Amino acid sequence: MQLFLRPLGRPSGSYGKPGGAVQPIRLAIMAVAWLAMAAATLTTGQAEDRPIRIVVLGDSLSAGFGLAAQDALPAKLERSLKAKGYNVAIENAGVSGDTAAGGLGRLDWSVPDGTDAVILELGANDALRGADPKQTRASLEAIIRRLKERRIAVLLAGMLAPRNFGEDYLKAFDPIYPELAAKYDLVLYPFILDVVAGDRALNLSDGVHPTAPGVDIIASRMLPKVEELIARVKSRP
C-alpha cells in the first residue's frame, strides 16, 4: 500500500489566509455579533426611555375635587418629579366619593396593563361614613394582593378616622394602614392630609378638601415617598 503524505510546511487551502475560505465566515460571525449588540442596545435604550407609569387610585383627595385638573395631586406630583429629572407618567384614577370597596370593584380597568406602580389613596370616605373598619381593611388588602400579584409596586397613602368618632372606632381604623404596609412591605405615607387637615386656609369651604396651596403641601411632603416608590420599580429584577 502506498501512502501519500503531504509535505510539512504551510498548509494547503486558505485557512486564516486573507481572501481565503475562512474570511467570509469570520465576517459573518462579526456581523451577527454586531447585530446582536445593536439589538440589545436598542432594547435597553427603549426600556430606559419608557416613562415609569404610576396610577393614583383614590377618591376626591386625589381626583382634585373643586380644583382645576393641573392642581390635582397626581398632576403636581408628576411636575415635581419631572423637575427633578424623573421620567414618569402619572395617571389620575381618583373618583370623588369612592370607598375602598369601590376602588376594589374598578381595580382592573383603573390600573391598566403596563402600570409600574400605584399610589393607593382610599379609605377617607369609609372613615367619614363610619364604615366597618374590618370591611375597609379587607378591601384595601384585596387591592394590595392583586397589585402584588401583578408585580406592581405600591405606595399606601394612609388615612385617620375623624377624631370625634370615639376611641373604639379610632383604635380599629387608624392602624389599618401601617399594619398593611408592614405586612406587605409597602411604601407608606402615614396620613395623606398631614399638616393640611383642619387648617381653614388650606381647605375649601367644606373643610374637607384641600385648596391648590393645600395640595402643594401634600405633594411636597409626599414626594420623598414617591421617589422611594420609583426606586423600588427601578430595582426590580
Which is the catalytic residue, given 49, 205, 206, 235? 206
Q: What is the pTM of this model?
A: 0.80
Residues 107 and 186 in one domain: yes
User: Which residues make beta-bridge pairs with 94?
Assistant: 58
Residues 170 and 231 in one domain: yes
Name the region of 190 (left: φ>0; alpha: ψ -120 to 50; beta: rest).
Answer: alpha
Residues 177 and 105 in one domain: yes
Tell me the mean pLDDT per 10 residues along the chain, length 237: 42 40 50 48 53 98 97 98 98 98 98 98 98 98 98 98 96 98 98 96 96 98 98 94
Q: What is the pLDDT of residues 119-173, one digit of tens each?
A: 999 999 999 999 999 999 999 999 999 999 999 999 999 999 999 999 999 999 9
Residue 5 placed within a domain = no
Tell me the CATH number at 229: 3.40.50.1110
User: Cα(first)–Cα(last) distance of the chain, in Å?
Assistant: 67
The total number of structural domains that make up the chain: 2
Residues 70 and 36 in one domain: no
Residue-number span of the structural domain to which 163 is assigned: 51-235
Q: Is 113 a catalytic residue?
A: no
Residues in the chain: 237
Which is the catalytic residue, given 80, 139, 174, 209? 209
Residues 61 and 43 in one domain: no
Residues 41 and 147 in one domain: no
Residues 163 and 69 in one domain: yes
Distances (CA, A) of 215 to 79, 118, 152, 179, 212: 13, 19, 25, 26, 5
- Strands in 187-189's sheet, in edge-to-edge order, are 88-94, 52-58, 117-121, 153-157, 187-189
Residues 122 and 218 in one domain: yes
Which is the catalytic residue, given 59, 60, 62, 126? 60
Residues 84 and 177 in one domain: yes
Residues 82 and 21 in one domain: no
Q: Is 209 a catalytic residue?
A: yes
Residues 127 and 45 in one domain: no
Q: Is 199 a catalytic residue?
A: no
Residues 121 and 139 in one domain: yes
